[in-house]
Amino acid sequence: MKHISLKTLLVFTFCVMNLIAVAQPAGRTIELIGFVMDSFTDYGLEKAKVTLMSTDSTVIDTMSVRNEHPSGYMVASSFSFKVPAKVESYIIKVDCEGYKSITTNYK
């Protein structure tokens, strides 16, 4: 079992589009996208679970990562959450067996 801090093993890439808080129509959402990877092997973590929380740690949504194997080997483990199209802060937590859990703040 790996006991190295998940902070050193995971790379988060967040791509958020259209997050300008200018008179957005009610109900409009954007997609918060990220990738979970082992920084030593550069492979995604197949069984990682990602939790999106508000800044008071209330769980908003949870998902298992989606895994892409275009060449027969692990390339990426990605996740995405639909969130309201307004400026907001979130906490993102990643859990994966064999790794320590990690949380990161997203603003």
User: Read out DSSP for the chain?
Assistant: ---S-HHHH-----B------SSPPTT-EEEEEEEEB-TTT--B-TT-EEEEE-TT--EEEEEEPEEE-TTSS--EEEEEEEEESS---EEEEEE-TTS--EEEEE-
Range in 59-63, 64-68, 73-77 the model is least confident about: 73-77
What's the confidence (pLDDT) of residue 4? Answer: 44
pTM of the predicted protein model: 0.70
Asked whether the predicted pLDDT for residue 59 surpasses 90, the reply is: yes
What's the confidence (pLDDT) of residue 27? Answer: 83
